[in-house]
Amino acid sequence: MKVIKAKTAGFCFGVRRAVDTVYKQVSSRKAGEQIYTYGPIIHNEEVIKDMEAKGVKVLRSEEELNSLSGGTVIIRSHGVEKRIYDILDGKNVKIVDATCPFVKKIHNIVQEQSRSGRLIVIIGNPEHPEVQGIKGWAGSKVCVIQNREDAENFSANQNEKICIVSQTTFNYNKFKDLVEIISEKSYDVSVLNTICNATKERQTEAESIAETVDAMIVIGDKHSSNTQKLFEICRMACNNTYYIQTLGDLDLNQLGSVETVGITAGASTPNNIIEEVQNNVRIIF
């Protein structure tokens, strides 16, 4: 019996940087100082619970943000709209920016391209905080495309100059397909592939493992976009693919008759959760 764990499973650079930023602020805070994150710092409930146990409060709305009169506010890894920075700048709070550098790069790109007059097309999930943040730096000429139907229905003035960027965790193959559909419409299109290299590597490795095993386990928070994409990719390659947040979500009896199991995890999944799943899967073999 064999268990194969993806080398790319677990925290990516941006997530680790954001998580470390919060714990560093916790360890160095002054007596009585309250630390906040604007939105969950990453998409992982277990990590957020641990931070809350250490006194970190999650601000989940603009109303909560507007009510602040002090403390430290940490910008989450997904980034936020420009207007959130403007609100914070007008308050008596310390701002710590934990936005992933790769996301911050997209903010700069769309701001610059928007100022030059281009229509910004963001390929991604319009409900995801990263996409909402990117959109908030793109000016008034911006739209979000999530699927083939959106791409086929997309239209703009024929003389419009267009800049296409992507959510960092979007499925790379889907991104290429959607770009091709838009490009065939004969617009003046500038395509900037802003999918994080770590995301592409993680997706490629997960697919490769899923193609060779009898069962595949994908570990990550239910709200994690990159984990959802991993699950979709793995399920296409392996029918017996399971999406879990923790070991408690996995029915080990389902794996009793298989000979090989693959394990991967989203970019916001802590290593201790991955190891717990891996160790328990090995026990049943």
Looking at the structure of the chain, the number of domains it has is 3
Domain co-membership, 254 together with 169: no
Q: Per-residue pLDDT tens, the chain, 285 aa: give them.
A: 699 999 999 999 999 999 999 999 999 999 999 999 999 999 999 999 999 999 999 999 999 999 998 999 999 999 999 999 999 999 999 999 999 999 999 999 999 999 999 999 999 999 999 999 999 999 999 999 999 999 999 999 988 999 999 999 999 999 999 999 999 998 999 999 999 999 999 999 999 999 999 999 999 999 999 999 999 999 999 999 999 999 999 988 888 789 999 999 999 999 999 999 999 998 765
Domain co-membership, 106 together with 190: yes
- pTM confidence score: 0.90
CATH number of residue 205's parent domain: 3.40.1010.20
Domain co-membership, 88 together with 148: no
Domain co-membership, 177 together with 223: no
Residue by residue, DSSP assigns the chain as -EEEE-TT-S--HHHHHHHHHHHHHHHHPPTT--EEEES-SSS-HHHHHHHHHTT-EEE-SHHHHHT--SSEEEEPTT---HHHHHHHHTSS-EEEE---HHHHHHHHHHHHHHHTTPEEEEES-TTSHHHHHHHTTS-SSEEEE-SHHHHHH----TT-EEEEEE-TTS-HHHHHHHHHHHHTT--EEEE-----HHHHHHHHHHHHHHTT-SEEEEE--TT-HHHHHHHHHHHHH-SSEEEESSGGG--GGGGTT-SEEEEEE-TT--HHHHHHHHHHHHHH-
Domain co-membership, 229 together with 267: yes
Domain co-membership, 204 together with 264: yes
Among candidate residues 39, 71, 99, the one where a domain is terminated:
99
pLDDT value, residue 283: 72
Per-residue model confidence as pLDDT tens digits over 66-108: 999 899 999 999 999 999 999 999 999 999 999 999 999 999 9
CATH number of residue 89's parent domain: 3.40.50.11270
Domain co-membership, 7 together with 18: no
CA distance 279 to 86: 47
- Return the active site residues: 130
Residues in the chain: 285
CA distances from 98 to 77, 95, 179 (A): 5, 10, 30
Give residue 257's identity as a one-letter amino acid code: S
Domain that includes residue 214, residue range: 2-11+198-284
Check if the beta carbon of residue 6 is closer than 8 Å to that of residue 202.
yes
Domain co-membership, 111 together with 159: yes
Among candidate residues 195, 227, 244, the one where a domain is terminated:
195
Domain co-membership, 205 together with 254: yes
pLDDT value, residue 55: 97
pLDDT value, residue 248: 94
pLDDT value, residue 284: 63
Domain co-membership, 189 together with 122: yes
pLDDT value, residue 150: 98
Domain co-membership, 132 together with 113: yes
Per-residue model confidence as pLDDT tens digits over 120-141: 999 999 999 999 999 999 999 9
Domain co-membership, 106 together with 95: no
pLDDT value, residue 211: 98
Among candidate residues 99, 115, 134, the one where a domain is terminated:
99
pLDDT value, residue 99: 97
